[in-house]
Amino acid sequence: MLSLFNVGDLLLAKIISFDRTRDPNLTIREAGLGKITRGHVIKITPAKVPRLIGRKGSMISVLKQETNCYITVGKNGLVLVSCTKPELEAIAILAIRTIEKEAHTSGLTNKISELIKKEKKEKGLNAV
């Protein structure tokens, strides 16, 4: 493993087996897994992860479609946001922070969609 990764590298891995008596077995041999080389990793409260994902994935779908970003959400509250443009990354992070802060409100999916559209318009990113 030390030939592939250094101490301190961030990895995106999948748990393939877990047993309470031993350490979990991880894999990085799937598409999208491996060393994180770009994007931002942000931390949210793990209790807010279901709200970030939304019912049937509605909230995370809005985030991905509106920002055209690659977003991975961990159950531990770590979120990887990687976009083609830094401006879109900033908008996605703002939206995630808003979801975390206003998780208790109703109609949040529509509010987040409007927030993203407004921010894109202000930054001149409507064609993205």
Contact status, residue 26 vs residue 13, Cβ threshold 8 Å: yes
Percent of the chain scoring above 70 in pLDDT: 97
Instruction: Name the pTM for this structure.
Output: 0.85
3-state SS assignment for residue 108: helix
Q: Count H helices, E strands: the chain?
A: 4, 7
Q: Is the pLDDT of residue 127 over 80?
A: no
Q: Has residue 128 got a pLDDT over 70?
A: no
Query: Is the pLDDT reported for residue 97 higher than 60?
Result: yes
70 alpha-carbon distance from chain centroid: 7
What's the confidence (pLDDT) of residue 2?
Answer: 67
Q: State mean pLDDT over 45-64.
A: 94
CATH entry, 38-122, from 3.90.550.40, 3.30.1370.10, 3.30.565.10, 2.170.120.40? 3.30.1370.10
Report the share of the chain in percent with pLDDT over 90: 70
